[in-house]
Amino acid sequence: MATLAAQITPAGISAPSYADIFAELQYLYWSIYGSDADLDADTQDGQFLAVLAQAIYDNNQLAIAIYNAFSPTFAQGAGLSSLVKINGLARRSPSNSSAVVTVVGVAGTSINNGLIGSQLGANTQWALPALVVIPVGGSIDVTATCTQPGNFAAGAGTLTAILTPTRGWQSVTNAEDAIPGLPVESDADLRQRQAVSTSLPAMTTLESIYAAIANLSGVGRLMVYENDTDVADGNGIPAHSISAVVGGGDVQQIAAAIASKKSPGTGTYGTTVEVVVDDNGVPDTIRFYELTLVDIKVEVDITAQQGYVSTTGDALVAAVAAFISGLAIGEDSYLSRLYSPANSGGTGLGATYVVTAIKQARTGPVEPADVAISFNEAAVCAIGDITLNVTS
- Looking at the fold, whether 238 and 285 belong to one and the same domain comes out as yes
Sign of CA dihedral 274, 147, 324, 216: positive
pLDDT, position 316: 92
Containing structural domain, residue 15: 7-68
179 in a structural domain: no
Domain total for the chain? 4
235 in a structural domain: yes
85 in a structural domain: no
Please state, as a whole number, how many other Cβ atoms lie within 10 Å of the Cβ of residue 211. 23
Say if CB 166 and CB 139 are below 8 A apart.
no
pLDDT digits (tens, 9 = 90+) for 58-109: 999 999 988 888 878 788 888 888 878 777 777 877 888 899 999 999 999 9
129 in a structural domain: yes
164 in a structural domain: yes
pLDDT, position 86: 76
DSSP letter string, 306-369: TT--HHHHHHHHHHHHHHHHTSPTT--B-HHHHHHHHHHTTTT-GGGEEEEEEEEESSSS-BSS
Rounded-to-integer distance, Cα 198 and Cα 178, Å: 30
- Looking at the fold, whether 311 and 385 belong to one and the same domain comes out as yes
pLDDT of 220 higher than 70: yes
pLDDT, position 232: 94
Q: pTM for the whole thing? A: 0.56
Return mean pLDDT, the chain. 89
Q: How sure is the predictor about 349, in pLDDT bands with cuts at 50, 70 and 90?
A: low
87 in a structural domain: no
89 in a structural domain: no
DSSP letter string, 149-176: EB-----TT---EESS--TTEEEEEESS
Least confident of 61-70, 168-177, 219-228, 357-366: 61-70
Rounded-to-integer distance, Cα 195 and Cα 199, Å: 8
pLDDT of 198 higher than 70: no
Final residue before a domain boundary, out of 251, 272, 290: 290
Residues in the chain, how many?
Answer: 392
pLDDT of 387 higher than 70: yes
- Looking at the fold, whether 206 and 144 belong to one and the same domain comes out as no
- Looking at the fold, whether 273 and 307 belong to one and the same domain comes out as no
Final residue before a domain boundary, out of 224, 257, 290: 290
pLDDT digits (tens, 9 = 90+) for 257-302: 999 989 888 999 999 999 998 888 889 999 999 999 999 999 999 9
pLDDT of 378 higher than 70: yes
Final residue before a domain boundary, out of 238, 259, 290: 290
- Looking at the fold, whether 107 and 18 belong to one and the same domain comes out as no
